[in-house]
Structures are given as C-alpha cells and as structure tokens.
Structure 1
Amino acid sequence: MKKRFAPGLALAGLFTLGLAGPASALEVGITPDLQSLEVPHGDETVTIQRIQDTENRLDNEFAKTSRPCPPFCVQPMDLGRGVETLGEAEFLEYVGQLGERDDLLIIDSRGPDDYAAGTIPGAINIPWQKLDIDGDAEPADVRDIMLDKFSVMDHWDLLDFSNAKTLVLFCNGPWCGQSPTNIRTLTNLGYPGHKIKWYRGGMQMWHTLGLTTVEGR
C-alpha cells in the first residue's frame, strides 16, 4: 500500500517531535511544541503533519456545512459516564503513543468504504454497525469483538474489563453519531468509561486543520 501524505511532507524528515531549530521549522506546525509526528500504520510508518500550503482550501465532502438532521445532528460535547472528549492536541497525544502501548486502539467507526478512502494514520476500522446492538449487530458478535480485539476477558460468562484496552473512537465529525452510538453501547455493556476516549472533531476537523490522511489498510 502506498503512503498518502499531505503536501510538503518531504520537509517532515527534518523534524518529528519537540521544538524545531530555525533551519528545520515548518511554516505550519501542529502546536508550538509539535511540528510533526511519526505513527505506525499497519506495516508502515506515517508522518502526520499539516499541509504546508497556507492558501489551501477544503475541496472535498468535508467542505459541506449542512446535512439533514436527523440523522446528522450536532453531538454534545460530553457523552457522560466518565468518557473523555478529546480535542486535536489531546487526540494526537494518544496517536503518538501507538508505537509504545499495546493496550491502546484508535478506532475509525465509519464504514469500510469511508475508511479505505482516507483515515487518520494508526486507526483501525471497526464499522459502527458491528457494535450497534440496537441495529443489526448480534449481542454475541459484539461480545466476540470485545474479547478478541479489546482484551476483555470472559470469566464464567461474566465480562472482566480489568485488562481492557483504552479505546479512542472517532467518525466523521461533530455532526456524526456513529462513534457516540458505539460508545454508549460499550458503556451500557459495562466497558469502563475512563477507558474510552472520544475524538469529537473526527475527520471533519482533521481535514479542516490540513492534517495527514492515509488509505485504510
């Protein structure tokens, strides 16, 4: 699979984490202390940075401002139950830990076609329908996902979340209910809220900030 980087990525090799010196600073950094970030994505390493063209404008579906509500309604900032809502800087802190932690998953909750077209580096795809018990998902299948992918343990048919992974979910943006629906399902099933994080901005804000996307693996 070919890497798909934001324009100007050739500069990324000059700097990864921390403050850059005068010769290596990108014109468009991520934060004052973060120029770019290297992230494992499948068997590749991808560099996340912002598009360096300061005249760049959105030209894809994420330039759309209005979608029918319902179902595309603005989501609340706080999902409750101990679930932490993340902004971009906080979300990137978790993305940056992917190479160091085996108890962490970044989950793109969108459908497989959307995931394949472009996602956040390091994210795996678990389509939201596969966790939607109120929809077409079978409870036994949701249970299998938790056991196989989330390191939930089964003790005599009782779910044990003591070693469950930290999950960071996102979908299309603040108007998308896919990842919130999954988060509510998981907490209803007993998944600890403090082990679930929600990147509310999702792909909408990721594109708005000109950050790197890759093809879903």
Structure 2
Amino acid sequence: MVLVRRAVVTAVLAAGSPLFAQSAAITENATAFTFTMNGAQMTVSRNGPSCPSSCIQPMTAAAGVDTLAELEVIGFLQNAVSDGSGLLVDVRRPGTFSSGSVPGAVNVPVDTFLPENPYRTDLLSALGVSNADTTPNFAGAFTLVIFANGPDDSSAHTAIQHLLSAGYPPGKIKYYRGGASTWSALGLNISVGQ
C-alpha cells in the first residue's frame, strides 16, 4: 500500500514538473499572445503539442467556405448526405480513420488532394466534377464537409486549399473545425471500420 501511495505521489509531482509543462507554440509565428485588461498585462500561452505539427487553426479555412459545428454537421448528414448531394470527408490517414470516425464519413487522405498526385483528376471525377482533366465543370460536384482530427490539425485546411486551387467552388466546401477529437470529446458516437 505504501509503495502504491509513493507511486501516486511521484506521478503527481512529475506531472507538475517543467518536463511535463513545456510551453508550445500556438501558431507557426506565435508562442504567446499578450493583451491588457484593466491596466494589467495578461498572456495567453499554450502547454500542449508542438507546433508546426499541431498549430491551432483559424476558424475560417478560406473565403467563402463556411465553418460548421456539430449540430450543422448532423444536419448536413441528415440532409445532403442522405439525399446524395453531399459527402462528409475525413482527411486523416487510413489507419487513424479506421480506428474511429464520425458516422457517415468517407476517408480521403489529405495527400490525395495534392496537385502532384497523378490520381487527383480521378478523385475530382469521383467527387462529381465532370471534365476534370480538361475544363472542369463543378455543377454536379458534391458539397463537401472536410474535417481532420481537430482544431490543431492543419490537414483539413490543407485539403481545402488544394480543392480551391483545383477550382472547386468555395460554396461547395464546408469546414468542420472541431474534427474527430471534438466530436468524440462531446460524447458523440464514432463509427469504427466504416
């Protein structure tokens, strides 16, 4: 019993040590933000994953691309996905996707959207773009909700930028910033192996 208590105390003390409380960047350009309130300077800093791999993403992915929260994603699933006009796209790697994702999501890894991907034209065709290899026509293209792991995962942002550079209309792209981690943290069910 004494050894168990010592182990617990040691773990608690270690968790509060500088080794575990390292500061991490918030964005690629900022490790902290300061502001003044009632004459006192205050700071917003971050203890967590390192940036640039886990930078906090802005609320807006691009001009004209709507950002959705969970209830809007559910509405999208009930309406656009149900009627065949929309796709919920998880851009995380296949292994991560298969371990659990938002119900109804399809996996299209972020690298698939890269301009140098020799199959990107095929991807655009699968998304409903006609003449994807010559003069793309997006009239019949799916409306997409793009998401990744969460607010500190740039994969969804990257995929959206690549879709826009391919000519995909911003009005047919939506961004679920919360991603799989927020979905799960809110207690919403995930689907495994879909």
Match of 1:113 in 2: 95
- Deviation above 6 Å: which 4+ runs of structure 1? none
Do 2:151 and 2:177's aligned partners in 1 also have CA atoms closer than 8 Å? yes
Compute the displacement of 1:183 (Å). 0.3
Pick aligned residue for 2:119 from 141, 152, 156: 141
1:132 aligns to 2:132 (yes or no): no
1:183 aligns to 2:160 (yes or no): yes
| Unaligned 5+ runs, structure 2 | 1-46
Pick aligned residue for 2:182 from 205, 211, 214: 205
Please tell me the root mean square deviation across aligned C-alpha atoms, in Å: 1.6
Quick check: which one's helix share is greater? 2
In structure 2, relative to structure 1, the CA distance for the partners of 1:83 and 1:98 (3 Å cut) is closer
Match of 1:78 in 2: 60
- Higher-Rg structure is 2
Pick aligned residue for 1:154 from 123, 131, 138: 131
Pick aligned residue for 1:87 from 69, 78, 90: 69
In structure 2, relative to structure 1, the CA distance for the partners of 1:178 and 1:156 (3 Å cut) is closer
Compute the displacement of 1:99 (Å). 5.7
* SS of structure 1 residue aligned to 2:141: coil
Do 1:81 and 1:187's aligned partners in 2 also have CA atoms closer than 8 Å? no
Compute the displacement of 1:173 (Å). 0.1
Match of 1:173 in 2: 150
Match of 1:100 in 2: 82
TM-score, normalised to structure 1, is: 0.65
Do 1:121 and 1:212's aligned partners in 2 also have CA atoms closer than 8 Å? yes
TM-score, normalised to structure 2, is: 0.72
Report the count of equivalent residues: 148
Do 2:91 and 2:109's aligned partners in 1 also have CA atoms closer than 8 Å? yes
| Unaligned 5+ runs, structure 1 | 1-64
In structure 2, relative to structure 1, the CA distance for the partners of 1:132 and 1:216 (3 Å cut) is farther
CA distances 1:66-94 after superposition (whole Å, capped 9, x unpaired): 21101210001112231000011111110
Identity across the alignment (%): 34
In structure 2, relative to structure 1, the CA distance for the partners of 1:180 and 1:99 (3 Å cut) is closer
AA of the residue aligned to 2:131? D
